[in-house]
Amino acid sequence: MHYWLMKSEPADASIDDVLAMPDQTIAWYGVRNYQARNFMRDLMQVGDGVLFYHSSCAEPGIAGIAEVASIAYPDDTQFDPDSKYFDPKATRENPRWMLVDVRALNKTELLSLAVLRAQPALAEMQILRRGNRLSITPVTAAEWHCLMKQLTVTS
């Protein structure tokens, strides 16, 4: 089993939005970084743990717990010329961009970056490294278990 931190802008898809969906599952579309794509394509497995992270908002941080709900498959937004995620080099025969479905399990009290940075056990967490801008990052088992002890489920 692997663990992941996956960033979403709450204006696009928040933990509340996903929990309100009938199956509480969202396709994690729009990833346009090769390393993040490779994580989804090559490493993610159904049942992997996910820290649902709100980014590009007033207070970024971990906002919920989720799980990977599908294996990777082509992101249809790459084929849509009206999408901001359109990629003219992608074809249905040779897709460039993949996604996985993510199922929200619980909303939690927000764990902000400041709270994460204050914990020595999380000092090496990839989200806390300078210059890290990846939308998907691996989380070690030790980091996951440390965070599970701290996250307070609200729904």
Mean pLDDT of the 83-101 span = 96
* Structural domain span for residue 64: 3-150
Does position 82 have pLDDT exceeding 80, yes or no? Answer: yes
pLDDT, one tens digit per residue, over 54-81 is 999 999 999 999 999 999 999 999 999 9
Q: What is the CATH number of the domain that holds 55?
A: 3.10.590.10
Long-range contacts of 35-43 (CB under 8 A, 24+ apart): 35/134, 36/134, 36/135, 36/136, 37/96, 37/97, 37/98, 39/4, 39/136, 39/138, 40/72, 40/98, 40/99, 40/100, 40/136, 41/72, 41/98, 43/2, 43/138
Within 13 Å and on the Cβ side, how many CA atoms surround 6? 32
Residue 55 belongs to some domain of the structure: yes
pLDDT, one tens digit per residue, over 18-36 is 999 999 999 999 999 999 9
Residue 141 belongs to some domain of the structure: yes
Mean pLDDT of the 119-131 span = 90
- What is the pLDDT at residue 134? 87
Please count the structural domains in the chain. 1
Q: Is 11 helix (H, G, I), strand (E, B) or coil?
A: coil
Total H helices, total E strands in the chain: 4, 8
What does the block give as tokens for 62?
């971990």
- What is the pLDDT at residue 133? 80
- What is the pLDDT at residue 155? 66
Model's pTM, two decimal places?
0.94
**Cα 59 to Cα 14: distance, rounded to the nearest angstrom:** 13
Residue 155 belongs to some domain of the structure: no
DSSP for 35-92, please give it: HHHHIIIII--TT-EEEEEE-SSSS-EEEEEEEE-S--EE-GGGG-TTSTT--TT--S
What does the block give as tokens for 147?
């965070």
Does position 150 have pLDDT exceeding 90, yes or no? Answer: no
Mean pLDDT of the chain: 94
